[in-house]
Structure 1
Amino acid sequence: MTGTTRRALIAAAALGALLTTGACNVDSGGTTPSGAASSDPSGGTAGTAKALKVGWSTIYLAPSWMQQTLKMLEEDVARLKGEGKVASYETFNANGDTSQQIAQIQAMIQQKYDVILVDAGSSTALNPVLEQAVAQGITVANFDSLVTSDKVIRVGTDQVEWGKMTAQWLADKLGGKGEIIAMNGPAGVAVSEERWKGAEEVFKKYPDIKISANVHSEYNLAPAAQAFASAYSAHPNITGVFSQGGALSAAALQTLVKQDKKLVPITGENYNGFLKMWADKRKEGFSSLSTAQPNYLSVIALEAAVAKIGGTAVPMDITVPLPKITDDNLDQYAKQDQPDDSYPIQPIPQSEIDKLIGK
């Protein structure tokens, strides 16, 4: 989720920006005064015990991953409300428009929010408005799709490590030789580029592994199925598939099953449609290593912001370990009673959250 920097939009983003435009009003239970300005680089004010006004700015809300993230965030907000730490919460959906996301963040600044959570539509375009929020004493915590500013708390996973980990598993599975198709996300998307960078570092160590095709596709099943089928028809003798997205993995496995072809190892993600097919075909010898961009990044970001305001020395960059889904623990993840486009994830223990945020 990257976009062109449009700094002029910040000045133009109406100071009277529509607080409810594009917003999903999850909870409007009360208002609180803003946090006092602080020299703390993340905008936190140490030692305060007041209940906080929290908002989440997300570039979009429609995908099932975002819906699961919202549900997880709402559950944590409810818990923090019960503890008297959060007074009110709202979600602001920019519907894929970075300029609208900037305007909505401006509105939150004007409305004196204490905490702004952000899933960014651009790694650079949001920097000025988020730094403006920090300068106003607001604690900003960014998760999942990250900005480049070092003035905000950033919570994410290591996407290069994602590529390295899954590529190494595939190289080991193939015994260091074979022919593979690489299934990557859209060209130019930062997450896709970083995962492939990690994978390339591994594959370069194995000259006997030939990458027959490097396919770029949307992270959706239908276009991915078309892209893989085309590549596979040209390279039917592959011995493995490097895939860096769950829908891409599902498309590859689905194609092999439909064409009654040999099931080769395919790396993947916690996309439930893929996990269910994997579980079904495991008895036929199919194997994978998958990982996940956990929805609980949002919970860690929220708890980091609340802890920062409460005086905890929270790290500005929090790297959350990547889960590993294997043949041995697959049954803990694959959910037969959930939709294919859901992303099952095991909960993270509170003790691990506390460790990550410096408690």
Structure 2
Amino acid sequence: MKRHATRRVFAAAAALTLLAACGSDTDDASSDDGQEWYVQADFDEQNEQRDATFEGDPATPWLQYIDGEMTDTAAFASAGAKKVCFANASVSNPWRQTGFLTMQQQLVVLQEQGAISEMETRDAQDDDNTQIADIDYFISEGNCDAFIISPNSTAAITPAVERACETGKPVVVFDRGVETDCATTFIHPIGGYAWGIDTAEFLVDNLEEGDKVIALRILPGVDVLETRWAAAEKIFEDNGIETEDHFTGGDPAEIKKIMSDALVQGDVDGVWMDAGDGAVAAIEAFEDAGADYPVMTGEDEMSFLRKWEETGLTGLAPVYSNFQWRTPLLAVQMIFAGQPVPAEWVLPQTPITEDQRAEFLEANEGLPDGHYAKFGGEDLPGFPQVWIDRKVG
């Protein structure tokens, strides 16, 4: 079955790297945008995947996948440690930093096992042209046994990914998609529609028809963020929930201003976010106004989980599984062992509920606010100090 790579989505926190491109009118509401992005087939697919049975051990979710087309890797089987070349979009926000720290510690394990000799990493610093040059360097000069690519953007990076595929060496794409199916495997959580469905259904279940929800969106034009809102907006409309959405640029001060202005105008019953960064600022606006806490969805960033517990508000922490940063290196190990890998490796994406919050707070005690609870690195060397120190590189 042909994979629909063009429909796949960027990682949510990775979208923060595009903030510099955001215009100055970030506070403008844009309630019609979601309909331009809504694709019923994609909504239905990801809605079904939310309840899918994942192959593999739930204790190692970074190795789980939805059953589907597999890539035969027997031709890549060979002994000895391999060099991996990693073209990374950036480490310019806490989500990517958390993930890269986990990836580095997974590398330590695989080096000790003799599966990987080294990982040469080039950081594109959120620039398409830099990443294209990085990939072309790896192809011509890197002496790479395998390529791992986390694309900065979809269309622009596609030709460079195709050139890497043409080398005949394994190519692992993860986090964001490209417009080609040539990679040995494409690794990602379920997607933006699943996030939108999880969050909107939670709000609908805890609100009444006619209640008002303020939607705080980072920026326009990024697939995973747009599809999150497209899915949520449809569910809100179908259930009679009044919504008002604003682009915030991910700026806590702007978030607080938007919420304060909304509270002056009347009651706000719910807050929906397409990423949890800045969630604390939104909650503080209610505290400053002396208003009741809203029903709210944030993210599995520790700052939101801690504020959620402190306030006792009715909340949900959706997840765009940060543990996916372990999977590419483990996929390379499998590929060079000749083991089949999923052609499209869809990882679990499960929100943190109130009854699970204490578990994740305890497991991540002492870790900084910018850390992500479902990073999946508790069993790796260096835990927890590596993630506390945050020395990325």
Do the structures match in fold with TM over 0.5?
A: yes
CA contact (8 A) 2:200 2:232 kept: yes
One of 315, 322, 342 as aligned partner of 2:371: 342
Q: SS at the partner of 1:53?
A: strand
One of 279, 291, 298 as aligned partner of 2:325: 298
Query: Residue 330 of structure 1 corresponds to which residue in structure 2?
Result: 357
Describe the superposition over 1:10-62 as per-residue Cα deviations: whole angstroms up to 9, x where unpaired: xxxxxxxxxxxxxxxxxxxxxxxxxxxxxx98988332122111122222113
Query: Residue 310 of structure 2 corresponds to which residue in structure 1?
Result: 280
One of 158, 163, 168 as aligned partner of 1:132: 163
Q: Matches of 1:52 and 1:243 in 2, distance apart?
A: 41
Flag the 1:314–1:289 CA change in 2: closer, same or farther, 3 A.
same
Deviation at 1:137, TM superposition (A): 1.8
Larger Rg: 1
TM-score, structure 1 as length reference: 0.79
Q: Matches of 1:45 and 1:309 in 2, distance apart?
A: 9
Q: SS at the partner of 1:124?
A: helix
Q: Identity across aligned pairs (percent)? A: 25
Is 1:87 the counterpart of 2:117? The answer is: yes
One of 151, 154, 177 as aligned partner of 1:123: 154
Describe the superposition over 1:236-281 as per-residue Cα deviations: whole angstroms up to 9, x where unpaired: 3121111121124322212112222110111110121111111101
Is 1:50 the counterpart of 2:83? The answer is: no
Q: SS at the partner of 1:291?
A: coil
Deviation at 1:227, TM superposition (A): 3.4
Query: Residue 223 of structure 1 corresponds to which residue in structure 2?
Result: 254
CA RMSD, 1 decimal? 2.4
Aligned ranges 1:141-290 → 2 under 5 Å: 141-152=172-183, 153-157=185-189, 158-207=191-240, 209-211=241-243, 213-234=244-265, 236-282=266-312, 286-290=313-317
Deviation at 1:99, TM superposition (A): 0.2
One of 63, 85, 92 as aligned partner of 1:62: 92
CA contact (8 A) 1:45 1:137 kept: no
Hey, which of these two has a bigger chunk of helix by percent? 2
CA contact (8 A) 1:44 1:138 kept: no
Deviation at 1:340, TM superposition (A): 2.2
Describe the superposition over 1:304-352 as per-residue Cα deviations: whole angstroms up to 9, x where unpaired: 23212322221121111112211111122235533222222262899xx
Q: Matches of 2:226 and 2:115 in 1, distance apart?
A: 39
Please list every run of 5 or more consecutive structure 2 residues that lacks an aligned counterpart in the other structure.
1-14, 19-69, 380-393
Deviation at 1:139, TM superposition (A): 1.5
**More moved, 302-311 vs 84-93:** 302-311
Deviation at 1:169, TM superposition (A): 0.7
Flag the 1:214–1:90 CA change in 2: closer, same or farther, 3 A.
same
Q: SS at the partner of 1:242?
A: strand
Is 1:76 the counterpart of 2:106? The answer is: yes
CA contact (8 A) 1:42 1:151 kept: no
Q: Matches of 2:288 and 2:204 in 1, distance apart?
A: 26
CA contact (8 A) 1:45 1:308 kept: no
Is 1:307 the counterpart of 2:338? The answer is: no
TM-score, structure 2 as length reference: 0.73
CA contact (8 A) 2:76 2:170 kept: no
Specify the code of the residue in structure 1 equivalent to 2:370: D
Flag the 1:294–1:59 CA change in 2: closer, same or farther, 3 A.
same
Q: SS at the partner of 1:104?
A: helix
